[in-house]
């Protein structure tokens, strides 16, 4: 007969076993990159590939291929350079410290135009239906030093817009000059008119004074004659 105290222990063990079995039943799939990777001639590039959900592949074999040729081979817990194609000798590496998290991305150094194309990452002994992932590498030619590359203006302005702004500024300046000249003409014209009015008033005053003097003289003469 099993002692009663053993039942909780057995129950806990069964639950832990079920959880572990459930985790192992979730198969990890190899996933490459749905978007192409771009690089410039002479640069280094990383071709992404990983297992989802994460799975430790340090004890498994990992192959990278390009056009049917071996780019990189990892097996027996280390890199194996023997089957590697001459095109990729001493130019490839894996991230060994991250393989326990399912990272099997490939680093390719000193990229050349011959490297462009489709790459395949493959874990042959993985217990999953998806053991391969693919990555497309696009290689752009290096820019020549004597070739000026047009880059977008961070201010968002264009030559046409700059010319339009210059024309507007010139027109505004011309308008200001015209307004200033008109104001000076109006001011001078007002002074001339003021002088003319003052002169007319002065002349009219003189004429009135003369007329009054003549009337006074006539009155004096009439009184003397009387």
On whether the CB atoms of residues 40 and 140 are closer than 8 A, the answer is yes
The domain locations on the chain are: 28-140, 167-215
Query: What homologous superfamily is domain 28-140 in, according to CATH?
Result: Immunoglobulins (2.60.40.10)
On whether the CB atoms of residues 87 and 94 are closer than 8 A, the answer is no
If you average pLDDT over residues 128-153, what whole number do you get? 76
If you average pLDDT over residues 10-38, what whole number do you get? 66
Mean pLDDT of the chain: 79
- 80-139 pLDDT per residue, tens: 999 999 999 999 999 999 999 999 999 999 999 999 999 999 999 999 989 999 999 999
Q: Which residue has the higher pLDDT, 225 or 138?
A: 138
- Give me the pLDDT at residue 193, please: 59
* Helix, strand, coil share of the chain (percent; to 5): 45, 20, 35
If you average pLDDT over residues 199-223, what whole number do you get? 56
Least confident of 46-50, 164-168, 204-208: 204-208
0.75 surpassed by pTM: no
- Within 109-183, strands assigned E span 117-122, 132-140
Residue 194 above 90 pLDDT? no
- Give me the pLDDT at residue 135, please: 98
- Rounded CA separation 119/139 (Å): 13
Beta-strand relationship, 62-66 and 117-122? antiparallel
């Amino acid at each position: 007969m099993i002692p009663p105290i053993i039942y909780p222990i057995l129950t806990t063990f069964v639950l832990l076993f079920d959880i572990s079995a459930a985790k192992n039943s979730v198969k990890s799939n190899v996933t490459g990159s749905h978007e192409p990777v771009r690089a410039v001639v002479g640069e280094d590039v990383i071709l992404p590939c990983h297992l989802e959900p994460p799975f430790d592949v340090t004890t498994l074999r990992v192959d990278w291929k390009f056009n049917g040729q071996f780019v990189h081979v990892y097996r027996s817990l280390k890199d194996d350079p023997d089957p590697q194609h001459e095109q990729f000798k001493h130019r490839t590496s894996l991230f060994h410290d991250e393989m326990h998290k399912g990272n099997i991305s490939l680093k390719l150094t000193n990229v050349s135009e011959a490297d462009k194309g489709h790459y395949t990452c493959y874990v042959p002994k993985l217990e999953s239906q998806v053991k391969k992932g693919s990555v497309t590498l696009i290689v752009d030619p290096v820019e020549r030093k004597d070739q000026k590359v047009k880059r977008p203006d961070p201010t968002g302005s264009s030559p046409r817009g700059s010319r339009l702004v210059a024309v507007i500024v010139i027109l505004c300046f011309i308008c200001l000059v015209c307004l200033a000249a008109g104001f000076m003409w109006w001011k001078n014209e007002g002074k001339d008119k003021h002088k003319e009015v003052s002169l007319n008033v002065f002349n009219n005053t003189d004429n009135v004074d003369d007329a009054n003097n003549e009337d006074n003289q006539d009155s004096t003469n009439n009184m003397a004659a009387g």
